[in-house]
Amino acid sequence: MNKVALITGATRGIGKQIAMTLAKEGYDIALNYRRENEELQNAKKEIEANKVECFAMKGDVSNFEDCEELVKQVMEKFGRIDVLVNNAGITKDMLLMRMKQEDFQQVIDVNLVGTFNVTKNVINHMLKARSGRIVNISSVVGVSGNAGQTNYAASKAGIIGFTKSLAKEVASRGILVNAVAPGFIETSMTEVLKDDVKEEIAKSIPLKRMGSSQDVANVVKFLSSEDSSYMTGQVLHVDGGMLM
């Protein structure tokens, strides 16, 4: 029986690359997505090309009932969840003085409450199995802060506190909980930036380039594997040296 990884927000960007990378490692993949689009069918085909099963289910991670149903269906389909990757996330950037209350709330609801909603529904299954890996996708700005991102930075800093607290709660039951803090990664989230802004950012990064989704997926693979079996409550920075 293959191990099973559940990845949220996995039809594109970093989530899709994580799903592909874990599929190559032989995991059956359960992926969650928010909007129906052709990327879903492409992602499913690419994952199944690795001779593993792929189960995809629509759901909004900020909605607790959606997450309850998601986990129920994944358990019905595969009977186990070995790895949970809380990846789904959004930005709604604006200086605080102009930020709408709903834009603050929505970013917290998807990024932080969404991480709670999925984890809360998965954790009992991992506790029963007395094993499991949870990898939460935070961000460099959750540690450093960033002008125009009070909502996003607060949600990502919250994920770090959540990760460390849960790691302490479940370590004795064989469940390891870690976070990954990517820097500037080339996905649709950063596509919105103008080319000259991206060039300036790249110049300021010690490794002189933006990261790729694969750079992040490689570290998630490590945190899901036996190679990291003595690590929990950690935040691994994948940012080309942006934050030292």
Residue with the two structure tokens 């460099």: 140
Residues 3-42 interacting with ligand NAP (rule: CB under 6 A): 8-9, 11-15, 32-35
Report phi then psi at 149, rounded to 5: -135, 40
Confirm whether 152 is a catalytic residue: yes
DSSP states of 21-89: HHHHTT-EEEEEESS--HHHHHHHHHHHTTS--EEEEE--TT-HHHHHHHHHHHHHHHS---EEEE---
**Residues 169-208 as x/- pattern, contact with ligand NAP by CB under 6 A:** -------------x-xx-xxxx------------------
Determine, following the binding rule CB under 6 A, whether residue 159 of this chain makes contact with ligand NAP. no
Half-sphere exposure in the Cβ direction for 39 (13 Å, CA): 16
Determine, following the binding rule CB under 6 A, whether residue 60 of this chain makes contact with ligand NAP. yes
CB closer to ligand NAP, 126 vs 137: 137
Residues 93-122 interacting with ligand NAP (rule: CB under 6 A): 110, 114
How many other C-beta atoms lie within 10 A of the C-beta of residue 54?
20
Pairwise CA distance, residues 235 & 68, whole Å: 27
Query: Which amino acid appears at position 157 of this protein?
Result: A
Pairwise CA distance, residues 32 & 88, whole Å: 9
Question: For ligand NAP, which stretch binds (CB under 6 A), given 82-90, 117-125, 201-209, 227-235?
Answer: 82-90
Question: For ligand NAP, which stretch binds (CB under 6 A), given 74-82, 83-91, 164-172, 226-234?
Answer: 83-91
Q: Say how many residues touch ligand NAP, by CB under 6 A.
A: 29
Residue with the two structure tokens 């019905």: 76
Question: For ligand NAP, which stretch binds (CB under 6 A), given 76-84, 87-95, 121-129, 194-202?
Answer: 87-95
Question: For ligand NAP, which stretch binds (CB under 6 A), given 42-50, 58-66, 94-102, 196-204?
Answer: 58-66
Determine, following the binding rule CB under 6 A, whether residue 224 of this chain makes contact with ligand NAP. no
Considering the complex, what minimum distance in angstroms separates the CB of residue 186 from ligand NAP? 7
Return the structure tokens found at 66.
């959606």
Q: H or E segment at 5?
A: strand 4-7
Residue with the two structure tokens 């607060």: 154
Considering the complex, what minimum distance in angstroms separates the CB of residue 230 from ligand NAP? 25
Q: What residues are annotated to the active site?
A: 152
Binding site residues, ligand NAP, CB under 6 A: 8-9, 11-15, 32-35, 60-62, 87-90, 110, 114, 137, 139, 182, 184-185, 187-190
